[in-house]
Amino acid sequence: MRNVVIAGVGMTPFARRPGTGIRALANAASAEALKDAGVSADDVEIVYFGNAVAGTVTGQDMIRGQVAFRHSDLAGHPVINVENACASGSSAFHLAVHAVSGGQYDVALAVGAEQLTHADKTRPFRALRGSTDVFEIGEAGEDEDWTRSILMEFYAQEARAFLTRSDATVEDFARVAVKNRMHARLNPLAQFSAEQTIEEVLRSRMVVDPLTLPMCSPTTDGSAAVVVCSEQYARDRSIGSLLRVRGCELKGGKDTLPVTEATAAVYRSAGIGVDEADVIELHDAAAPAELIQYAEIGLCAEGEEAGLIRDGSTAIGGRIPVNTSGGLMSRGHALGATGIAQLAELAVQLRGRAGERQVENARVGLAVNTGGWMGGGYAVAVGTVLEALQ
């Protein structure tokens, strides 16, 4: 198997951008990634395109990547469309990495793009219902509440269970939201940058008890892209600022914890432990999700999660900064783009280009992206470890 690197990264601002469309978003991020790598569209041999909900939101049920790049220099390239709920982007990246590692291609482009904003505000929430087992929960009734994501009901259930089995409090959920907003205010691509206090988070509108609005990820539009190639190809082309993919593992959920399994697998393939990561991006679709994942990825023992947010361990300047981008709650959650947006943040950090939010001497980064909800847990989880090369 060959060494694989990320040679270029591109990302649009994450925001509510009605009318922009995944075509404009995907082309902007991809053009930036190609320019960053110093390669052209002609050098790309295949595109893996991650998108979750265009079928419901815009009616583009099929050939989403082909349509997105129809009028660009990538038109006519082979495209594999990838849908894996909120893990669509990281799943596209996973396919690109293994195709290049196995020698099938020298250069691949992994793209994630999502347009959630629509004049019909019910469409994104209708789409999110499809990230669960509809056969199990049943089709939506006439009185269905389309003002919020069904996933927040599941996260609220998780939050309530977590509160009973640990010493965590609702204030700790608010601390996660405040910490990630502090990071996001230093990220020019983040959706939300206004500072907030614990008291403001707790006083905000209740979405599903105990989750208030700032504890939940927003609907977001955006795209991110990475150029994936063999290390030998990059060296032959004198491409600089390379990030080696030490590991990328995808696991499915059934009666197990896919986050734990995916990270355990990527630690093995990367040959590291979690304590060797300098910066981490976690899937904080709701505030308790970040806390719960602290133990699932091995940062602490189960029951000790709240201590990490209380003592500042996971803030910039702490022992192991988590979600320096602002995370899904503040950077924004553009579903199909989220997994690659996490990698874009790691790239900025590992290249030393994060400005005021730079983690000192960051060399190794971990990203954990999850998708869907089935049987009381995530349907899929992807763990990735990147390392800056000299």
CB within 8 Å of 228: residues ≥ 6 apart: 4, 5, 6, 7, 93, 96, 97, 100, 107, 108, 109, 110, 245
The lowest-confidence range among 21-25, 26-30, 151-155 is 151-155
Q: What is the mean pLDDT of residues 305-323?
A: 98
Quote the percentage of the chain above a pLDDT of 70. Answer: 97
The mean pLDDT value for 256-279 works out to 96
Number of CB atoms found within 10 A of residue 356's CB:
9
pLDDT at 253 (0 to 100): 82
3-state SS of 282-324 is CCCCEHHHHHHHHHHCCCCCCCCHHHHHHCCCCCCCCCCCECC
Closest alpha carbon to 379 in 250, 221, 267: 250
Tell whether the model's pLDDT for residue 288 goes beyond 90: yes
pLDDT at 255: 66
pLDDT category at 305 given cuts 50, 70, 90 is: very high
Mean pLDDT of all residues in the chain? 95
CB 69 within 8 A of CB 79: yes
What confidence score (pLDDT) does residue 375 get? 81
Residues 152 and 288 sit within 8 Å (Cβ to Cβ): no
If you search the block for the tokens 């990270």, which residue do you land on?
263
Q: List residues bridging with 383 in a β-sheet.
A: 249, 368
Other beta carbons within 10 Å of 270: 23
pLDDT, mean of residues 147-171: 91
Please check the confidence at residue 146 and state whether its pLDDT lies above 70.
Answer: no
**CA distance to 178, 266, 360, per residue, from 373 (Å):** 26, 22, 36
Task: For the chain, report the end-to-end CA distance as a whole number of angstroms.
Answer: 21
**At 279, phi and psi to the nearest 5?**
-155, 145
Q: With pLDDT > 90 as the criterion, what percentage of the chain qualifies?
A: 88
Would you name the residues annotated as active-site residues? 86
Residue 383 has pLDDT above 70, yes or no: yes
Q: Residue with structure tokens 């999660």?
A: 305
318 vs 321: CA distance, rounded Å: 6
CATH placement of domain 4-120+221-245: 3.40.47.10
pLDDT value of residue 134: 85
pLDDT of residue 140: 65
- List the domain boundaries for the chain: 4-120+221-245, 141-217+248-388
Q: What are the two backbone dihedrals, phi and then psi, of residue 155, each rounded to the nearest 5 degrees?
A: -65, -35
Q: Which two tokens stand for residue 328?
A: 């899904």
Residue-wise pLDDT for 96-114, tens only, equals 999 999 999 999 999 999 9
Helix (H) or strand (E) holding 11: strand 4-11
Q: Describe the strand order of the beta sheet including 377-388 as a list of residue ranges.
A: 79-82, 46-50, 107-114, 222-230, 4-11, 243-252, 377-388, 364-374, 279-281
Domains 4-120+221-245 and 141-217+248-388 share a fold: yes
- Mean pLDDT to the nearest integer, 287-309: 97
Q: How far apart are CA 1 and CA 3, in angstroms?
A: 7
In this model, does residue 71 exceed pLDDT 90? yes
pLDDT of residue 279: 98
pLDDT at 138 over 70: no
At residue 142, does pLDDT exceed 70? Answer: no
Element (H, E) at 158: helix 150-165
CATH topology (fold) of 141-217+248-388: Peroxisomal Thiolase; Chain A, domain 1 (3.40.47)
pLDDT at residue 141 greater than cutoff 70 = no
